[in-house]
Amino acid sequence: MSHLRILLFAGLAETCGSTFLEVELPSVCTVAELELLAITANPRLHHATFRVAVNSVYADATDLIPEDAEVAFLPPVSGG
């Protein structure tokens, strides 16, 4: 198991009442599994729309979370 802090932004941070979430990860964990763990830890994420970034790159559901990765949950973007 390893400890992971997930960065949250904008409306997602407001929904969760924090700019980060903390979860315990199994030694091998995909992005999809991480999402389930995070939603279980914080049910307010259940109806939220977000994409996952790992080390500042958009990740796919089947990607593995590397050790010491920086992970962020990104709500729909709206720059410009």
Partner 1 sequence: MQQSFQMRLVDGPVNGHWAQESIAGPDAGCTLVFFGTVRDSGHLGEVVHLDYQAYPEMVEKEFAKIASEVLQAFEILRIAIEHAVGRVAVGECSVAVAIAAQHRKDVFAAADKVMAELKTRVPLWKKEVCVDGSEWRGQGS
- Binding residues for partner 1, per CB under 8 A? 7, 9-11, 14, 49, 53, 56-58, 70, 72, 74-80
How many residues are recorded in the chain? 80
The distance of closest approach from Cβ of residue 35 to partner 1 in the complex, given in angstroms and rounded to an integer, is 17
Using the minimum distance from each CB to partner 1, give the nearer residue, 27 or 53: 53
Grouping H, G, I as helix, E, B as strand and the rest as coil, residue 75 is coil
DSSP state at residue 44: G
Whether 32 contacts 25, CB under 8 Å:
no
The distance of closest approach from Cβ of residue 8 to partner 1 in the complex, given in angstroms and rounded to an integer, is 10
